[in-house]
């Protein structure tokens, strides 16, 4: 860990210290996080299980504070309807949503040892190793490719490279293959494995054909064995199945949003990367329901000047990664971002992430390319945060269109629709579908209802196209399952009618910001970690007071009993005000006590000394600068209270309290 | 629903209204809870699944507020170490804790239809129906037995009674059987079923022999199928497996406590009783680690005067249910409650439950009788809350002794112990066990380590007894698995030794207060529900401001645009202060708006009217009394802020603001 280039005289420092100048040392951070129990492998004394972590007192407090900030930023400030729905989910619900059929990864087995690999990771790891070996054989230094590899790194399983030169065509083929690795189906991965003779790197044994492995944990509900359940892979479906009740709660009007914080589960084939890819994780999800014809947002103006760092799909499809800075207002006006509501949430999320301490220079919004987006999605942006693992998706903001509500509505025959009374009745020319129910049923069987629903719900223009095509022979309709169905004139008549409408009925579209809390927490810890020149062995976590696990340390200059009494008085007063503070009355030196709390990210420290007894004063230390102020105990507590609430900053505090430079801060 | 005996002039009422005088109408409450979406069956549009419920916006907010109060009352105020451990738990952990083998209920199947029953519930239901039929045949009215049945009611499956007279011996036998119903093993229940010819009441078909059904949801972790996991049935084991890290975090000292709020799961055979017996639920658990030789509590004096309503085991074993009121101090001094720490948590919990609104007259502490307590527990008290389902366990306070830490330590060979440096070295006479390792291994195999650990850990007195018994022949030792093992002189020598000790080592005991949040919430809703004389169709939930989902309603007397602007100004100011408020700008009458918010438990309501424009005043209404005060907008908001924070009560508010009686409160 490279130490900070700060001077040893605390009071000379400016606030805040520029932390970006320090090289990041992951091993030191990892050691700190384990030693101070931010998190640790679950069931560690039993040997642990990959992908399951427990949060200790510091990690839990940090998480609770981040979630509290989230709840205030979104649920309270935007009057969202909070939900707490079950984790155990009826299989039928997830069948309808598509998870039972599609929420899977492809895996292969070593045919002799049975070791299991995620098929794409295996292919990627082996091919990357071969390319690396080729580079070594050609004498090209690895660094040159480093930046380019950044994104791939997060998925790479380390496979040892051998310096073997490949012919140029093979190199080109391999590079194309890696660029496409996310797009291959299981059978295609199988072909690649055979074609390129990919084996288990550890044993050189062949591997099996790829088979699908569903990532949901499965269980039985009740004793019969007939009711299958899955642990939810996202909280979203719990919102959608409750839509009718939520709409009623909101007096039948859109737009409104539901929000939920809770655990979700993904039974990853081979989890790695610490908190970034785990089997159980806390999510915070918002489902914002809007009129599909009006995706404006009433509070758009409040975020239109927020600056986003955007990586649009057009740039990526040219193989480039340059970002562009735009305000939310510009991005929506230029149609880079599809609509106001999506733009609004991008702006709000930028504000949230930077408020809790994410470094805005290591934050970008990457748009999904057409081939990675769910077929029903209208537009999708990921907030990616850069850490030592590369750029990692931490928040997804998707326009899920009317997909989920439509499929649940079709499956359950419950109307998940908004009815809007028109101000005055209107006469409209419409196209009406009249189905030959019997012929429809025979041809489409269980899909008949879905196809009818889709056809009836089409906008007039699209229906006119189908009508025209049917007049010439046949046509087709694309449904919510992503498939197209051929329709012929004997199945459906499409005729113009004139109707007087008093009500408008529609299925709302859903804009979904979805937060992976563990990923955000881990990124935050990396972004705020650094070390002082004077004490390189101990790190500092420059967490904002808003989320720091403990807000204020309370210590005395000596073990004197009068001073000990004082610190407990101070502690009681802080507790009464709801300031999460901690007394350290151990025999360690002041410097050591400060250093121990710098590691926990404690932003402020109060010290009582003999002047306290004489003058009733106490000093106040700021973590990042180690600057100190002094004042009467009651005034200092007042200042701490305001600093923690964010109503003043350190500069403001310096106006209320006097500068102090009497005590050496850091241990010799 | 019987309406309240209140007058129609709001300002004449005293606060709070005595709500206990109103008869409770469960059907009305249930209708309210569903209509206003406190909670609803999960996947309702898919037909739902028994024992799974979703919390809607009101229920979620109520729950969030109760949990926030809990976190402040316990974690913050007592400086507990919070944890967030995984729900998915490695099977080995729950094997060690005993859950894999013992966490089961007995079930029987209808041999023809396959319908499944919990064996004890079936026996109980049928026998109760027969006794009821006998009473009818004898002409005894049901009411007389009502109170006595209260506790049983919560488990009863409704079986139709036929008026058949039984002979007196059978009645006595049946009554004895019911009194013992919780104590029968599966095979004993099977015998009872055969002896008393108990069949499926719906079909009269015979039922199968009882088989054990483990109540944990099972799943596989990862793709191999070799790593079995269970959804945790309690959060406690997540604390224990992290004990070594927690102890280190607390600088190696006890006492300290860890705390966790999270979901747990029990795959009930046949859930019923709404929120009281569910398959997925939120728990809040504290594990307080103490020196087994010193269970005093530093803050005991703070709760010693708290009055508890106690139902000790001695009273129950005589078949009686009279409670006795004692202060915590008396209960511990008289050894009714085993120790100070357990007493401390009983006191703190009494304070917590009444603070959030539980009626103290419907709250009691019932001690576990010897036969219902886990074999390792030293003492156990349940806080039971009375509702329409009878007296229901909502919080368990158990002294789990050193059981859990010992079994995990033995299984994993990790020391889960506290080391205490002695102030001065001491010379002690001890008894030392010397084992014949080989003979021990041959005789006890996999249990050898556990038995050695137990013997070595025994107190001197007990070890002396065993030594004496061994001198006469053989002895036995009771281990953490609840079984006794015979030991003989060839296996172990127990000899006195003199040692100089610098350290004392011990496995701490654990005092565990464990809260079922859903049960507490439901009881709270029953305790605070009533109706006004003027509007019997709509109920009132007299939730304390501390936990009410919304704290303040903001309305205007008319749809006038100036007034509408004002209410949004008031709303903005309240939001800025963090007061969860809601504007109702619909066209409903004021009375209706108030009534709609009384249903949600909203304690305060602010109304702007034309005086607001002229004088800048606003009225403030109190939910229970419907009393109104008036003052300048800023002053009213100030008062609301203080009322919500609990720094003043309504009487205090009446001193700051003027009385107001200008507006008719309730809709005509």
Give me the number of domains chain B comprises: 4
Q: How far apart are the first and last CA of chain A?
A: 19
Q: How far apart are the first and last CA of chain B?
A: 19
Q: Looking at beta carbons, which residues of chain A come within 8 Å of B265? A: 88
Residue in this structure with the two tokens 């509501």, named with its chain if needed? A341
CB B212 within 8 A of CB B186: yes
Element (H, E) at B485: strand B484-487
- Asked whether residue A129 is domain-assigned, the answer is yes
Instruction: Specify the long-range contacts of residues B538-541, CB closer than 8 Å, at least 24 apart.
Output: B538/B595, B538/B596, B538/B598, B538/B599, B539/B1, B539/B28, B539/B29, B539/B32, B539/B598, B539/B599, B540/B598, B540/B599, B540/B601, B540/B623, B540/B624, B541/B32, B541/B598, B541/B599, B541/B600, B541/B601
Q: What is the pLDDT of residue A21?
A: 41
pLDDT > 70? residue A667: no
Residue where a domain stops, chosen among A214, A236, A262? A214
Residue where a domain stops, chosen among A504, A532, A560? A504
ω into residue A310 within 30 of 0, thus cis? no
Question: Is residue A142 very low, low, confident or very high in pLDDT (cuts 50, 70, 90)?
Answer: low
Which two tokens mark A140?
């090209």
Q: Which of B46, B48, B54, B56 is CA-nearest to residue A408?
A: B46
Q: What is the pLDDT of residue A200?
A: 94
A269 and A187 fall within a common domain: no
Question: B 296-335 residues with CB below 8 A of A?
Answer: none
Q: What is the pLDDT of residue B394?
A: 97
Element (H, E) at B555: strand B552-556
CATH number at residue B449: 3.30.720
- Asked whether residue A535 is domain-assigned, the answer is no
Stretch among A109-118, A657-666, B544-553 having the lowest mean pLDDT: A657-666
Helix boundaries (H) for B318-476? 328-333, 340-355, 403-412, 437-444, 448-457, 460-472
Q: What is the pLDDT of residue A10?
A: 33
Q: Do B76 and A42 touch (CB under 8 A)?
A: no
Quick count: other Cβ atoms within 10 Å of Cβ B251?
9
Whether the CB of B588 is below 8 Å from some CB of chain A: the reply is no
Q: What is the mean pLDDT of residues A372-379?
A: 79
A430 and A374 fall within a common domain: no
Question: Is residue B539 very low, low, confident or very high in pLDDT (cuts 50, 70, 90)?
Answer: very high
Domain that holds residue A614: 550-659
Q: What is the DSSP letter of A624?
A: T
Whether the CB of A610 is below 8 Å from some CB of chain B: the reply is no
CB-nearest to A83 from B55, B244, B268 is B55
Element (H, E) at A217: none
Instruction: Specify the long-range contacts of residues B562-570, CB closer than 8 Å, at least 24 apart.
Output: B562/B613, B563/B608, B563/B609, B563/B610, B563/B612, B563/B613, B566/B608, B566/B612, B566/B613, B567/B608, B570/B606, B570/B608, B570/B618, B570/B633, B570/B637
* pLDDT (tens digit per residue) in A240-295: 999 999 999 998 999 999 999 999 999 999 888 888 999 999 999 999 999 999 99
B271 and B350 fall within a common domain: yes
Q: What is the pLDDT of residue B665?
A: 43
pLDDT > 80? residue B22: no
CATH number at residue A209: 3.30.40.230
Q: What is the pLDDT of residue B16?
A: 42
Q: Which of A190, A116, A126 is CA-nearest to residue A156?
A: A126
A582 and A467 fall within a common domain: no
Which residues, at least 6 apart from A292, have a Cβ–Cβ distance to it below 8 Å? A401, A402, A506, A507, A508, A509
- Asked whether residue B387 is domain-assigned, the answer is yes
Between CA A599 and CA A32 the distance in angstroms is 7
pLDDT > 90? residue A359: yes
Q: Which of B524, B525, B533, B523 is CA-nearest to residue B21?
A: B533
A363 and A440 fall within a common domain: no
Q: Looking at beta carbons, which residues of chain B come within 8 Å of A249? A: 36-37, 56-57
Which residues, at least 6 apart from A125, have a Cβ–Cβ distance to it below 8 Å? A156, A157, A158, A159, A201
A223 and A371 fall within a common domain: yes
CB-nearest to A86 from B54, B77, B268 is B54
Does the predicted model carry a pTM greater than 0.90?
no
- Asked whether residue B592 is domain-assigned, the answer is yes
CATH number at residue B80: 3.30.930.10
Q: What is the pLDDT of residue B501?
A: 87
Q: Do B412 and A46 touch (CB under 8 A)?
A: yes
* pLDDT (tens digit per residue) in A569-622: 999 899 878 888 999 988 899 999 999 999 999 999 999 998 888 899 999 999
Stretch among A473-477, B178-182, B627-631, B652-656 having the lowest mean pLDDT: B178-182
A205 and A224 fall within a common domain: no
CB A309 within 8 A of CB A323: yes
pLDDT > 80? residue A368: yes
Which two tokens mark A361?
């220079």
Quick count: other Cβ atoms within 10 Å of Cβ A443?
17
pLDDT > 90? residue B88: yes
Q: What is the pLDDT of residue B534?
A: 74
B210 and B287 fall within a common domain: no
Q: What is the pLDDT of residue B100?
A: 95
Q: What is the pLDDT of residue B147?
A: 45
Q: Which residue has the higher pLDDT, B441 or A606?
A: A606
Q: What is the pLDDT of residue A13?
A: 32
* Phi, psi angle pair for A662, to nearest 5°: -85, -20
CB B36 within 8 A of CB B564: no
Q: What is the mean pLDDT of residues A93-112?
A: 94
- Alpha-carbon dihedral A122, A127, A130, A135, rounded to 10 degrees: -130
Q: What is the pLDDT of residue A213?
A: 95
Q: What is the pLDDT of residue B621?
A: 96
* pLDDT (tens digit per residue) in B479-505: 877 788 999 999 999 999 998 889 999
Which two tokens mark A450?
């879905």
Q: What is the pLDDT of residue A324?
A: 96
Q: Do A249 and B59 touch (CB under 8 A)?
A: no
Quick count: other Cβ atoms within 10 Å of Cβ A509?
24
- Asked whether residue B523 is domain-assigned, the answer is no
CB-nearest to A242 from B54, B89, B263 is B54
* pLDDT (tens digit per residue) in B345-356: 999 999 999 999
In a 3-state reduction of DSSP, which class is residue A267?
coil
Between CA A261 and CA A252 the distance in angstroms is 24
In a 3-state reduction of DSSP, which class is residue B41?
strand
Closest CA of chain A from B41, distance in Å: 10
- Asked whether residue A465 is domain-assigned, the answer is yes
Q: Do A49 and B227 touch (CB under 8 A)?
A: yes
pLDDT > 80? residue B282: yes
Q: Which residue has the higher pLDDT, B235 or B157?
A: B235
Residue where a domain stops, chosen among B472, B504, B536? B504
Quick count: other Cβ atoms within 10 Å of Cβ B462?
14
CB B396 within 8 A of CB B514: yes
Cα distances (Å, whole numbers) of residue A95 to A86, A408, B43, B48: 17, 10, 13, 15
Which two tokens mark B10?
């709001």
Tell which of B88, B587, B647 to mutate to test the A interface (max A CBs under 10 Å): B88
CB A606 within 8 A of CB A583: no
| Residue environment code for A447-480, b if the CB has 16+ CB neighbours within 10 A, otherwise e | bbebbbbbbebbeeeebeebbeebeeeebebebb
Give the strand order in the sheet containing A379-387: A81-83, A256-265, A280-290, A509-516, A390-401, A379-387, A363-367, A307-311, A324-327
Q: What is the pLDDT of residue B141?
A: 63
Question: Is residue B98 very low, low, confident or very high in pLDDT (cuts 50, 70, 90)?
Answer: very high
Q: Which of B311, B239, B352, B275 is CA-nearest to residue B522?
A: B275
B363 and B303 fall within a common domain: yes
Residue in this structure with the two tokens 């505090």, named with its chain if needed? A653
Q: What is the pLDDT of residue B356?
A: 97
- Asked whether residue B186 is domain-assigned, the answer is yes
Q: What is the pLDDT of residue A322?
A: 92
Phi-psi region of A47 (alpha: psi -120 to 50; beta: other; left: phi over 0): left
Q: What is the pLDDT of residue A141?
A: 63
In a 3-state reduction of DSSP, which class is residue A263?
strand
Cα distances (Å, whole numbers) of residue A603 to A1, A357, A541, A553, A597: 21, 13, 9, 8, 8
ipTM for the whole complex: 0.86
pLDDT > 90? residue A76: no
Residue in this structure with the two tokens 């304390």, named with its chain if needed? B544
CB-nearest to A88 from B52, B61, B107 is B52
Cα distances (Å, whole numbers) of residue B526 to A527, B19, B31, B523: 48, 11, 13, 5
Q: Using CB atoms within 10 Å of the CB of residue A95, give its burial: 0 to 12 exposed, 13 to 18 middle, 19+ buried.
A: middle
Q: Beta partners for A525?
A: none
Q: Mean of the per-residue pLDDT values for chain A?
A: 89
- Alpha-carbon dihedral B367, B371, B373, B378, rounded to 10 degrees: 80
Closest CA of chain B from A228, distance in Å: 11
Tell how strand B418-435 and strand B492-506 pair up: antiparallel
ω into residue A255 within 30 of 0, thus cis? yes
Q: What is the pLDDT of residue A178?
A: 87
Q: What is the mean pLDDT of residues B372-390?
A: 88
pLDDT > 60? residue B294: yes
Phi-psi region of A394 (alpha: psi -120 to 50; beta: other; left: phi over 0): alpha
- Asked whether residue B317 is domain-assigned, the answer is yes
* pLDDT (tens digit per residue) in B37-71: 999 999 999 999 999 999 999 999 999 999 999 99
CATH number at residue A556: 3.40.50.800
In a 3-state reduction of DSSP, which class is residue A20?
helix
Q: What is the mean pLDDT of residues A328-347?
A: 97
Q: Using CB atoms within 10 Å of the CB of residue A517, give its burial: 0 to 12 exposed, 13 to 18 middle, 19+ buried.
A: buried
Q: Using CB atoms within 10 Å of the CB of residue B532, give its burial: 0 to 12 exposed, 13 to 18 middle, 19+ buried.
A: buried
Share of chain B above pLDDT 90, in %: 68
Which two tokens mark B44?
């309702």
B332 and B451 fall within a common domain: no
Question: B 92-131 residues with CB below 8 A of A?
Answer: 92-93, 107, 114, 116
Q: Using CB atoms within 10 Å of the CB of residue B144, give its burial: 0 to 12 exposed, 13 to 18 middle, 19+ buried.
A: exposed
Between CA B242 and CA B239 the distance in angstroms is 5
B112 and B194 fall within a common domain: yes
In a 3-state reduction of DSSP, which class is residue B421?
strand
B61 and B118 fall within a common domain: no
Q: Looking at beta carbons, which residues of chain B come within 8 Å of A224? A: 114, 116
């Amino acid at each position: 860990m490279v130490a900070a280039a700060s001077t040893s005289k605390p009071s000379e420092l400016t606030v805040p210290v520029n932390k970006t100048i320090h090289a990041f040392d992951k091993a030191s951070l990892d050691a700190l996080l384990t030693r101070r129990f931010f998190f640790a492998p679950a069931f560690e004394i039993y040997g642990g299980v990959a992908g399951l972590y427990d949060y200790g007192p510091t990690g839990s407090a940090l998480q609770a504070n981040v979630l509290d900030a989230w709840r205030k930023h979104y649920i309270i400030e935007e009057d969202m309807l909070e939900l707490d729905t079950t984790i155990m989910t009826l299989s039928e619900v997830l069948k309808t949503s598509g998870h039972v059929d599609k929420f899977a990864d492809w895996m292969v087995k070593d045919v002799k040892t049975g070791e299991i690999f995620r098929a794409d990771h295996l292919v990627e790891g082996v091919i990357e190793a071969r390319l690396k070996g080729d580079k070594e054989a050609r004498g090209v230094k690895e660094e040159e490719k480093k930046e380019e590899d950044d994104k791939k790194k997060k998925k790479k399983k380390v496979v040892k490279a051998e310096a073997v030169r490949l012919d140029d065509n093979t190199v080109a083929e391999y590079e194309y293959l890696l660029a496409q690795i996310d797009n291959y189906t299981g059978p295609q991965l199988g072909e690649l494995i055979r074609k390129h003779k990919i084996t288990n790197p550890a044993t050189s044994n062949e591997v099996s054909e790829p088979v699908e492995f569903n990532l949901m944990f499965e269980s039985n509900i009740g004793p019969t064995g007939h009711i299958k359940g899955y642990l939810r892979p996202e909280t979203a479906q719990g919102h959608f199945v409750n839509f009718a009740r939520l709409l009623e709660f909101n007096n039948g009007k859109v737009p409104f949003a539901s929000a939920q914080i809770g655990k979700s589960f993904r039974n990853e084939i081979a989890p790695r990367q610490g908190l970034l890819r785990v089997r159980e994780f806390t999510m915070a999800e918002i489902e914002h329901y809007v009129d599909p014809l009006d995706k404006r947002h009433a509070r758009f103006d409040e975020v239109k000047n927020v600056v986003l760092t955007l990586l649009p799909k057009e740039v990526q499809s040219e193989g480039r990664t340059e970002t562009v800075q735009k305000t939310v207002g510009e991005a929506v006006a230029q149609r880079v971002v599809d609509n106001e509501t999506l733009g609004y949430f991008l702006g709000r999320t930028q504000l949230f992430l930077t408020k809790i301490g994410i470094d805005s220079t290591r934050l970008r919004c990457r748009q999904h390319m057409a081939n990675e987006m769910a077929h029903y999605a209208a537009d999708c942006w990921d907030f990616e945060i850069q850490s030592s693992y590369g750029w990692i998706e931490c928040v997804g903001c998707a326009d899920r269109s009317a997909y989920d509500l439509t499929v649940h509505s079709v499956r359950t025959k419950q109307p998940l629709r908004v009815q809007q009374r028109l101000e005055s009745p209107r006469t409209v020319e419409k196209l009406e579908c009249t189905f030959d129910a019997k012929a429809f049923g025979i041809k489409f069987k269980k899909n008949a209802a879905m196809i009818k629903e889709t056809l009836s719900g089409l906008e007039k223009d699209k229906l006119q196209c189908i009508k025209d095509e049917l007049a010439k022979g046949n046509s087709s309709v694309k449904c919510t399952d992503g498939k197209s169905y051929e329709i012929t004139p004997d199945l459906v008549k499409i005729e113009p009618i004139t109707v007087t409408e008093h009500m408008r009925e529609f299925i709302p579209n859903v804009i979904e910001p979805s937060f992976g809390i563990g990923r955000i927490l881990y990124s935050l810890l990396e972004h705020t970690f650094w070390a002082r020149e004077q004490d390189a062995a101990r790190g500092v976590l420059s967490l904002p007071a808003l989320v720091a696990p403990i807000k204020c340390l309370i210590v005395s200059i000596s073990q004197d009993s009068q001073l000990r009494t004082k610190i407990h008085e101070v502690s009681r007063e802080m507790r009464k005000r709801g300031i999460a503070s901690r007394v350290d009355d151990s025999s360690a030196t002041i410097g050591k006590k400060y250093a121990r709390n710098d590691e926990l990210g404690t932003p402020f420290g109060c010290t009582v000394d003999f002047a306290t007894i004489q003058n009733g004063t106490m000093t106040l230390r700021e973590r990042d600068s180690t600057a100190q102020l002094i004042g009467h105990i009651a005034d200092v507590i007042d200042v701490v209270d305001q600093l923690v609430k964010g109503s003043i900053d350190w500069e403001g505090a310096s106006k209320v309290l006097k500068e102090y430079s009497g005590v050496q801060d850091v241990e010799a």
